[in-house]
Each structure stands twice: as structure tokens, then as C-alpha cells.
Amino acid sequence: MLIRLLPGTRLLARVQAVLPLHLILSLPNQLLAHVPITEISGVLTDRLTKGEKDDEDMEVDANAEEDDAEDEDAPELSQLYQPGQYVSGIVTQNFPSESSNKSFLGMYTPTEQTRLASRIEMSLRPEKVNEGVMKADVTTGFRLTGTLKSEEDHGWSVDLGVKDIEGFVKKDEVAGKTIHAGQVLDFVVSSATGRLAQLTLDETQNKRTLGPEVYTNVSSILPGHLISCLITAIVPAGLNVKISGFFDGTIDITHLGIGEKDIEKEFKLGKRVSGRIDELEAQSADHLSTFSRID
């Protein structure tokens, strides 16, 4: 059976390979996708564009200054991502066949990996992945991605792609880390006041922080969110659950971690379980497709 992901589907994906101009992502259901370097962030794209223009306009200048951070070359994808790393993305385009995406396939020596990844194009831009997130939901403990915009005196400004709110991460949060303007990172909100959200990169919080008990809108639920849900049905394929009392979801039996055990003995109606969002269906107002149970 051919499994297709609609444009607009948001996913938690794993980086399988880093190519010069693309990421190859491993998706649920054994699918592959590609992310163009121009779909990482707007800031990175601007830096790449500026670098190309500078190369075109370059003149021999013995007095040229090279110590201005703004004039540094844009980072390569291999400086930003490593195989095995998890990222949040959104499907932007489907191609009808494995040979139809000629612009992507023509850049690399043909392999089984590039052939399979050519069918689905994705974006990691926070303004696309976080589209629809409500400012009211961006509170302490909320997890989302953001783009490092610029270095300030006491930290970095962060573009969250959420209307009417900006992010800021303090310098001590990034101390010892190699980071670049245009890089997209996972953040947890440590506090939010007015138009400013203070952010943390603490990996423990990123992995274990529960999302809000109640969300304003289903669009505020993002890939990677750890949420609590109520079991509403036990079926042979897994569990049907309810999130925030309004939104429906499913947990596939392969994600329950019960092996050959009887699902009806392991889970009971009305009980709560925690799960990590893996996939959010496109064009759905009230259904979260799949997520993985976490004890």
C-alpha cells in the first residue's frame, strides 16, 4: 500500500543523511524525505544569498576586513545537523513519482536513498512548522523550534515564527556550544511576559517537559510535544485517546512497548498515559494522527 503524506502534515523526523544542499529525513512508516538548504530558516537563506552576492561582487582588496561576524560565511549543513538527530518539520510538496523531482535528483549521484527521498519535500522553517501556534499557549514549559537571529549583548534573539512574540536565549544557555545565526534549535519556554519569551536549551527539559494541560488550539500542538492524554478506546491497532478534552489521537500498538502482551490487560479505559507527538495530520481540525507512548 502506498502511504502518502499530505502537504501541511507536521512530523517529528530523524536526520538520516546530510548532503551538501539537502537533509535526508527518515519519517514514520519507513518513508524518506528531503529538506532543501533554503528550507532550514529564512536567516540562513539570507546568509547564503548574501554570500553568493559577495562572491559575485568580490574585488581584490588588500584592506578588506575579515573580523566582522556578519561577513562570515554561512555554515554548511554538516555544521548544523548530524545523522540520528531529531527535527520537527512540515511536508511542503509531494511528487507523483520517484523520477519527477528532477531538480533534486540531478544534484547527486543516483542512489536508493535519494530516489526514495525525492518523493517528499519538507521544511524546517519555524514560521511554517509553528504556523497557527497561539501566543496564549507559549507559556512556561512550552516546547517549540526557533531560528537564531542575531547575537546581542546578553544572549541571542530567536525568531519563533509565532505572531506577536519573540524569543531570547541567554548567553549562559549556549556557553560551550558552537552555534550559528540561521540555525534552528529546539527550545523550552522558561518564562513568557508580554511579547518576549525567555528560552532554555536544557536537553533534559526538552525531552521530559509535559506540554500544557489545555491547549487553546490544535495548531498549538507540535511534533515532539510530550503530552498527557486520556484513553477513550482500546482497539486491536492500539489506543484511541483524547487530548485537552477536545482533540482525538491514536497510539499505534507498535509504539506502546508491550511486545506480545495483551493490550486489554495492559491498558484500561479512562486511564491517562503520556505520549510524544510523532505526526499531526494535515487539514484536520481535531485529530492528531499518531504519537508514541512514554511512561
DSSP 134-178: -GGG--TT-EEEEEEEEE-SSEEEEE-S-TT-EEEEEHHHHTT--
* Average pLDDT of span 105-126: 95
* Average pLDDT of span 122-127: 98
Identify the bridge partners of residue 251 per DSSP, sorted by sequence position: 239
* Average pLDDT of span 136-142: 91
At 253, the amino acid letter reads I
pLDDT tens-digit readout, 182-216: 999 999 999 999 999 999 997 665 556 667 777 88
Report the SS3 class of residue 54: helix
Cα 51 to the center of its chain, rounded Å: 26
* Average pLDDT of span 260-278: 91
Q: Are 267 and 248 in contact (CB under 8 A)?
A: no
**Phi/psi at 41 (5° precision):** -160, 155
Q: Are 141 and 212 in contact (CB under 8 A)?
A: yes
Domains and CATH numbers, the chain: 10-52+71-124 (2.40.50), 133-208 (2.40.50.140), 225-294 (2.40.50.140)
Cα 250 to the center of its chain, rounded Å: 20
* Average pLDDT of span 148-172: 95
pLDDT of amino acid 208: 64
Q: Are strands 10-18 and 86-94 parallel, antiparallel or unpaired?
A: antiparallel
Q: Which three cell numbers mark 94?
A: 509531494
With a cut of 70, say whether residue 120 has pLDDT above it: yes
Distance CA 26, CA 33 (A): 7
Closest of 122, 115, 191, 130 to residue 163, by C-alpha:
130
Give the contacts of 259 (CB within 8 A, at least 6 positions apart): none
Q: Which three cell numbers mark 154?
A: 546578553
Identify the bridge partners of residue 18 per DSSP, sorted by sequence position: 23
Report the SS3 class of residue 24: strand
Residues 140-154: b if buried by 16+ CB within 10 A, e if exposed:
eebbbbbbbbeeeee
Closest of 178, 153, 215 to residue 76, by C-alpha:
178
pLDDT tens-digit readout, 200-259: 997 665 556 667 777 888 888 898 888 888 999 999 989 999 887 778 888 988 888 888
Distance CA 144, CA 160 (A): 8
Distance CA 121, CA 24 (A): 10
Distance CA 149, CA 113 (A): 33
With a cut of 80, say whether residue 114 has pLDDT above it: yes
pLDDT tens-digit readout, 88-99: 999 999 998 888
Closest of 195, 145, 144, 148 to residue 169, by C-alpha:
148
Distance CA 295, CA 201 (A): 23
